[in-house]
Amino acid sequence: QGNYDLVGLNWPVFFIRDPFMGPDNIRSQQRNPKSGLIDYNAWFDFLGNVPESQHAGLMLLSDHATPVGWRFMSGYGCHTFRWTNTSGQGVFIKYHWRSKQGTKEFTHEEAVAMCGEDPDFAKRDLWQHIEKGGDARWTMFVQVLTPEDLASGKLDFDPFDVTKVWPRNKFPMQEVGELVLNRNPEDYHRDVEQAAFSPGSLVPGIELSPDTLLQWRAFFYRDAQYHRLGSANIHQIPVNCPFMARFHSPDNYAGTMRIDGNVSSKPTYFPNSYHNNKPTTSGAPGFLPQAEEVPMQVATNVLSRKSYYLHEGSPTEYNQVRELYQRVLSPQKREELHSNTARLLKHADAIVQKNYLIQLHAIDPGYATAIYDLLPEHNGYTREEIAEGAKSAHLVGKNPQFFSAGKGASFMGLPI
Name the binding residues: 221
Q: Give the torsion through C-alpha atoms of 231, 233, 239, 240, to 10 deg.
A: 110
Does residue 42 contact residue 28 with C-beta atoms inside 8 Å?
A: yes
- 111 three-state secondary structure: helix
**Residue type (1 letter), 69:** G
Q: What count of Cα atoms within 13 Å lies in the side-chain half-sphere of residue 222?
A: 19
**CA distance linking residue 47 with residue 323, whole number of Å:** 19
Please count the other Cβ atoms lying within 10 Å of the Cβ belonging to residue 392. Answer: 12
263: burial class by Cβ within 10 Å (0-12, 13-18, 19+)? middle
**Residue type (1 letter), 72:** F
Please count the other Cβ atoms lying within 10 Å of the Cβ belonging to residue 101. Answer: 19
Residue numbers in the known binding site for heme are: 221
Please count the other Cβ atoms lying within 10 Å of the Cβ belonging to residue 370. Answer: 18
Which helix (H) or strand (E) is 263 found in, with range?
none
* Residues ≥6 apart with Cβ < 8 Å to 350: 377, 378, 379, 380, 381
**Residue type (1 letter), 139:** T
